[in-house]
Amino acid sequence: MTDSTWWQLLLALGYGVLGSVIPIVNAEAFIVASVATEMIDPVVVGALLGLGQGIGKMALFQTVRQGRRRLFRKRPLKQPASARPGSWRARWDRLVVMGVKLVEHPRWGPVGFFLSGSISLPPNYLTTVIAATTKINFVLFAIFLTAGFMSRYVVIALAAAGVVDRIL
């Protein structure tokens, strides 16, 4: 590998991390640009962007988890007043409880992480924040979410390469 190839690989990884933390940085646009310019092999660019996205979400997960621990250590958690049944607050509370139960479920939690990474349903930013506030195993979260990201971006890169080949 040449020096320029290493820089391109690091650029793809870094772009993935940046896009994971700043939602407006679009990894799909990077894929299309790199495939159109034949900068990196489509599978490699997809895998590195997915890995970068996973690393960024792992950092966000740990930041939320550590921040939550420090916040609650300094002052006790105040229990909110019970919401009236049927109010927006009551609906939101039910939705959060349902989300936490799904994330902590031993079978469906990892499936949810993989789907969040691969098709963004549920949205991965929200999934990461909710998972960080639960007792879910960090390694389990990291593996399944990163695998989802990597599969997503490899498929997008291969599709973009197919389109570019047909056009050129």
Closest by CA position to 133, among listed 63, 83, 74, 52? 63
Handedness of CA 52, 56, 59, 61 (dihedral sign): negative
Residue 61 covered by a domain: yes
Token digits for 88? 């927006």
Q: Which residue has the tokens 């092999």?
A: 41
Residue 136 covered by a domain: yes
Residue 128 covered by a domain: yes
Token digits for 108? 């469906």
Q: Report percent pLDDT > 90 for the chain.
A: 39
Q: Which domain holds residue 31?
A: 3-72+82-167
Length of the chain: 168
Residue 77 covered by a domain: no
**What's the pLDDT at 56?**
95
Q: What is the pLDDT of residues 3-39, one digit of tens each?
A: 677 888 899 999 999 999 888 899 899 998 888 888 7
Q: What is the pLDDT of residues 130-156, one digit of tens each?
A: 899 888 999 999 999 999 999 999 999
DSSP secondary structure letters along 83-142: PPTTSHHHHHHHHHHHHHHHHH-TTHHHHHHHHHHHH-SS-HHHHHHHHHTTT--HHHHH
**What's the pLDDT at 80?**
55
Residue 154 covered by a domain: yes
Token digits for 104? 């902590």
Q: How far apart are CA 48 and CA 65, in angstroms?
A: 25
Q: How far apart are CA 134 and CA 65, in angstroms?
A: 8
Residue 104 covered by a domain: yes
Helical packing angle, 88-104 and 108-119, nearest 10°: 110
**What's the pLDDT at 77?**
46
Whole-model pTM: value is 0.82
Please say whether the beta carbons of 20 and 51 come within 8 A.
no
Q: Which residue has the tokens 């793809």?
A: 12
